[in-house]
Amino acid sequence: MHYDLSGAKHIIAALDADQDIKALMLKAFMRRVELFGIDISFFNEPFTPISITGTGCSLKCRHCDSHYLRHMLDGSGGRLYSQVSFLEDRGAKGILLSGGSAEDGSVPTYALADDIKNIKQDKKLKISAHTGLVNEVQAQKLSDYLDMALVDIIGDDETIHDILGLDAHARDYERSLEYLSSSGIPLAPHIIVGLHNGRLKGEFRALRIVERFKPDVVVIVVFIPTKGTVLEGIRPPDIQDVARVITEARQMFDCPLSLSCVRPGGRYRSELDMYAILCGIDRIAVPSRKAYTISRELGLNITEVPQMCCSYGASI
């Protein structure tokens, strides 16, 4: 199809950004038009996360420290089935299983494999899960019920040790993708931009790790300085740094590239959404008003995807 790039060129040229960033953005935007035409998907109703561990977590990550678990539905202590039923009664099409990490870095949904298989049979809902690091046995158990594995991929050993407090290495994340992929589970790797104190450190290596595995979708997460954590006073990553990661991802992957709902809010989010679209993102979770505005200015065709997680690829 023919698409007039003059609007994108004009908007990018007017940005207060480095010239090399602008060149990368235009190239990436052209790539997304080549892959997806003028379509962009907005996911305003992500799956509701259910924590299988309640607020419990064996790690004390400097960026989270269990904060986000307190905002999930509590599926611990035998409450998982009732929480899923609660969501189903409200029209949910799927659920996101999550929770705190075990000491090995896994999110132990595999420990409830029989219960989750029963839920899958009874409810006919799509089931996604944050997996964390997994071994071969754990991945095989997950394959019995998972429709999509959401895996944070960390590409820097120092970040893994200092920020997550985990005795693991980037190679362990690569092995986790190997096990999940070999088990036949669709993959939605998540790249966390700025996790190392708001700076880039390992993101490009993480992209190279993911490149081996033909993911269904690649999700860009942006570090949020969270109140009550060690990193609450750290600035979020420079938006031009986020742009560098997104443009690189757009050139590397032919699959959908999604901007996660996990990203800072306010004016930062508005500016980030604009940059992300110009960098080649073709789907956004919980888009800002600016995302709508810039998409219309670019002549993109917005599709609203109801009650679905942005991590789903061809499955939507």
Q: Give pTM, 2 decimals.
A: 0.96
Over 50: is that where the pLDDT of 314 sits? no
Over 90: is that where the pLDDT of 207 sits? yes
> What's the rounded mean pLDDT across residues 219-233?
95
Contact 93, 128 (CB under 8 A): no
Over 70: is that where the pLDDT of 315 sits? no
Distance, CA of 44 to CA of 239 (rounded, Å): 22
Closest among 310, 96, 120 to 216, alpha carbons compared: 310
User: Which pLDDT tens digit goes with each residue over 169-195?
Assistant: 999 999 999 999 999 999 999 999 999
pLDDT band at 159 (very low <50, low <70, confident <90, very high): very high
User: Which pLDDT tens digit goes with each residue over 26-49?
Assistant: 999 999 999 999 999 999 999 999
> What's the rounded mean pLDDT across residues 54-83?
94
Domain ranges of the chain: 6-304
Helices within 133-229 (DSSP H only): 136-142, 157-162, 170-182, 203-211
> Between the CA of residue 29 and those of 12, 35, 300, what are the distances in Å?
10, 10, 12
> What's the rounded mean pLDDT across residues 85-108?
95
Fold that domain 6-304 belongs to in CATH: TIM Barrel (3.20.20)
pLDDT band at 119 (very low <50, low <70, confident <90, very high): very high
At 313 the pLDDT is 54
- Which residues on neighbouring strands pair with residue 219, listed in sequence order? 190, 258
At 1 the pLDDT is 62
Three-state DSSP at 35 gives helix
